[in-house]
Structure 1
Amino acid sequence: MPRAVILSGALGSGHDMVSEVVVQSLEAHDWQVSTLDCMAMLGSRGAKLGDRVFRRVTAMPGLYDGLHFAHFRTGSWLVRAIDREATKRLVPAVKRELEAQPADLLFATFATGASVAAKLRTDLPRVRSAVLCTDVDPYWLWVWDEIDLYLVTSQAAAAAVRRFVPKAHIQVVPPPVRPAFYQAPDQFSARRALGIPEDAGCVLLMGGGWGLGPVAELAAALGASGTHVLAVAGHNETLRRSLEQLDRDHVHPFGFTDRIPELMAASDVVMTTPGATTCSEARVIGRHLVVLDVFPGHGRENLQHELELGAADACGPALHELEPVVEAVLERMKRPLPTVIRPPDEWPVAFAGALQSLGVSARSPQIEAAG
């Protein structure tokens, strides 16, 4: 049985969700799979510092925009220094893991994981490597000559990879979405389970795993207008407590929950930050997106991509911008909305093809000799 190691990183929830799909997909082809969290492998102090710095920098949009567009996208001296500092710990740690339990494939769903996989190529030449990036513009840290296969979800992303490695082996695949979203209930069944009237306007309001943006303020304003709001706080306990203090007739608060497929199915509109994972899930369910322009850097790139794909609007976090956008979208809705509009086999078929392009038989898993 071939073995794969997923290199992920716990910054928000997006990388974890993508890794979950990859694990399930590999296991469906009889792979043994384990996951390494690059953030955790930095040690308790390093992981906490990295998380704190990222949160603070993204909370200052001008600063993070400058870092992303001037440094991360270009691979400046600053980003190279950050990469060296992180990988000098991670590369030996991952190598020890692989020496203890050899693997056939390193699969990175996190930028630093891609760097680690590339740097291990010299010492472990027979271990294949793949990178999956769901952002529309993979930046320098994602892209290395030593990676065998890149999986991206758009032609724009493929071109971004070729910017750094012109001869890269790239497969454009559908976004990886967890199977539960292809099995979501119909809209009215979901509403009955949640106690939401069939004829009411309903918005699912999310701020990612961290509960970013003015979620409580937006939920209060929409609820006051008579719209039912399914407000998800993610791991943000302060936000969850704030949501629980709002009008419970129209605001339905949730913490971190596995009921997102049901909540999306019940809604008319999904209002969220520009995370590729949540937006892709909403598109599988078939819900219109209102994307909040509250995440700088690669968030702005992803927002533009969602608008280009259609069935999406954008707005800032200010109430005077938000309310007319939501009102206009809700006026266009004719319930019940269809649920699950994407074919459930789109990702499995594409993923199997990607494995085969890497020299792995999907029907009878076998690694071909690296050459």
Structure 2
Amino acid sequence: MTDDHTEEPLAFPTGREGQPGRRALLLSGSLGMGHDVMAQACAHSLALRGFSTRTLDSLRMMGGRAGSAGEGVFRGMLAVPGLYDALHFSQMRPGGGLARAIEATSSRFLVPKLRVELRDQPVELLLSIFATGAAAASRIKHEHPRMVTTVFCTDVCVHRLWVHENTDLYLVTSTTAARFVRRFHPEARIAVVPTPVRQPFYDPPTQEAARAALEIPADARCVLLMSGSWGLGPLVEGAQALAEAGIWVLVVAGRNVSLAARLRERANTHPRIIPFGFTDRIPELMAASDLVVTSSGDTCSEARVIGRDLLLLDVVPGHGRDNLQLELDRGRADVTSAGAMSLRRSALAALDRIKPPSVRVVGTPEAWEQAFGAALSQVELANGW
């Protein structure tokens, strides 16, 4: 499960137009917006290198009930405690029989659609940012021997559905992820790259300016509370508990309409709660805060760019638990249990440790571009930047 903040077009800068003959197809997936964020980062970077790109949703390409069932099945598993953990750790990570069946079933729907796409618009590069896309790309690779197949996975423990023998290059964001790829593909060509972050996070407002815009006192303690596009975890109860402790709470519901409504209701009786649904103001909200409370995902990299410490909610099972451990190892992060009182206690302790907040911006967009270009050079596709 990855993060989602905005219904607006994602704010990567626009590259130059692609040159004729250099085309790339990106396969994303509509479980949250995290895959789409990574797809747009790659599309922008490919445009800088002279590619024209198009991005397709692997789940929607499957069509009908097969395409729409993916999110429903995932939500259903999350609703049953322990179910997705069981699937992930017993089947997905080791590549058990059920994982292979999921892969075969999705490919049966996706491969024919992908075959038509590539017949009508051949490409030089096929980049999968979704596991079912990676499986389908591997199955069709032999029909396009000159096409480079690449997979980009930001999970730390890359599970079996991401890894396929006909993949020419893997992009991962940690050395641990590289080793998990080699569990299934020992000869794999792999590049470790930074997690790409959208441009507005490199140019946030000052904390003083952000608080003035949000009408938050300059000397108050303030937390940004969010948990991906689905708003997983105790956001309503947690926001109330923090507000009752005297903390200003910027809380983001993402796509969760019912959660947004409940947060607005709670804000009516707790003026320190400032609720948001979809918003493109996340850089401003992070800048205003002293601490970012969130689940593991792209938000962690964004917060680090702005220079905010993290308190991580242990609410995303399966790969989310793997990714949480990686974020803790990266530093400037603590973890809390999902209960509202545990969240409040951990947040208060974290605020005591980190004041005043850092204003340091960590990393630059150039670090991603250089790493991405070096990765493409491994498959002779790095021209133009």
Is the TM-score greater than 0.5? yes
Q: Deviations for 1:284-304, whole angstroms, at most 9, x for unmatched residues? A: 111111111111111111111
**Distance (whole Å) between structure 1 residues aligned to residue 165 and residue 174 of structure 2:** 20
Asked if the contact 1:230–1:252 (Cα under 8 Å) also holds between the matched residues in 2, the reply is: yes
Q: How does 1:38-57 map to 2 (within 5 A)?
A: 38-57=58-77
Q: How does 1:272-283 map to 2 (within 5 A)?
A: 272-275=294-297, 277-283=298-304
Deviates more, 1:342-351 or 1:146-155: 342-351
Q: CA deviation at 1:190?
A: 1.5
2:36 alignment counterpart: 16
Asked if the contact 2:241–2:341 (Cα under 8 Å) also holds between the matched residues in 1, the reply is: no
Matching residue within 306, 318, 336 for 1:285: 306
Q: Deviations for 1:29-87, whole angstroms, at most 9, x for unmatched residues? A: 22100001011112142222211110010222311111000000111111111111111
SS of aligned partner of 1:213: coil
**Distance (whole Å) between structure 2 residues aligned to residue 207 and residue 139 of structure 1:** 23
Q: Deviations for 1:247-284, whole angstroms, at most 9, x for unmatched residues? A: 35211111111111111111111111122x11111111
Q: CA deviation at 1:356?
A: 1.4
Paired residue total: 363
**Distance (whole Å) between structure 2 residues aligned to residue 80 and residue 90 of structure 1:** 15
Q: CA deviation at 1:133?
A: 0.6
Asked if the contact 1:130–1:147 (Cα under 8 Å) also holds between the matched residues in 2, the reply is: yes
Asked if the contact 2:48–2:384 (Cα under 8 Å) also holds between the matched residues in 1, the reply is: no
Matching residue within 245, 262, 272 for 2:265: 245
Asked if the contact 1:20–1:178 (Cα under 8 Å) also holds between the matched residues in 2, the reply is: no
Which letter does structure 1 place at the counterpart of 2:156?
V
Asked if the contact 1:188–1:336 (Cα under 8 Å) also holds between the matched residues in 2, the reply is: no
Matched, 1:120 2:140: yes
**Distance (whole Å) between structure 2 residues aligned to residue 150 and residue 274 of structure 1:** 22
Matched, 1:107 2:127: yes
Asked if the contact 1:68–1:297 (Cα under 8 Å) also holds between the matched residues in 2, the reply is: yes
Matched, 1:256 2:281: no
Q: Percent identity?
A: 49
**Distance (whole Å) between structure 2 residues aligned to residue 199 and residue 342 of structure 1:** 28
Which letter does structure 2 place at the counterpart of 1:232?
V
Q: How does 1:189-338 map to 2 (within 5 A)?
A: 189-247=209-267, 249-275=271-297, 277-335=298-356, 337-338=358-359
Asked if the contact 1:13–1:209 (Cα under 8 Å) also holds between the matched residues in 2, the reply is: yes
2:49 alignment counterpart: 29
**Distance (whole Å) between structure 1 residues aligned to residue 350 and residue 363 of structure 2:** 21
Which letter does structure 1 place at the counterpart of 2:313?
L
2:189 alignment counterpart: 169
1:367 alignment counterpart: none
Asked if the contact 1:185–1:339 (Cα under 8 Å) also holds between the matched residues in 2, the reply is: no
**Distance (whole Å) between structure 2 residues aligned to residue 48 and residue 180 of structure 1:** 32
Matched, 1:147 2:164: no
2:117 alignment counterpart: 97
SS of aligned partner of 2:141: coil
**Distance (whole Å) between structure 2 residues aligned to residue 116 and residue 176 of structure 1:** 25
Asked if the contact 1:40–1:47 (Cα under 8 Å) also holds between the matched residues in 2, the reply is: yes
SS of aligned partner of 1:252: strand
Q: Deviations for 1:322-360, whole angstroms, at most 9, x for unmatched residues? A: 111100111123335305222231111111111212211
Which letter does structure 1 place at the counterpart of 2:197?
V
Q: How does 1:178-193 map to 2 (within 5 A)?
A: 178-193=198-213
Which letter does structure 1 place at the counterpart of 2:183?
R
Matching residue within 158, 165, 168 for 2:178: 158
TM-score (norm 1): 0.95
2:150 alignment counterpart: 130
Deviates more, 1:191-200 or 1:228-237: 191-200
Relative distance call for 1:79 and 1:324 in structure 2 (3 A) is: same
TM-score (norm 2): 0.92
RMSD: 1.3
**Distance (whole Å) between structure 2 residues aligned to residue 282 and residue 178 of structure 1:** 11
Which letter does structure 1 place at the counterpart of 2:373?
A
Q: Any stretches of 5+ residues in structure 1 without a counterpart?
A: 365-371
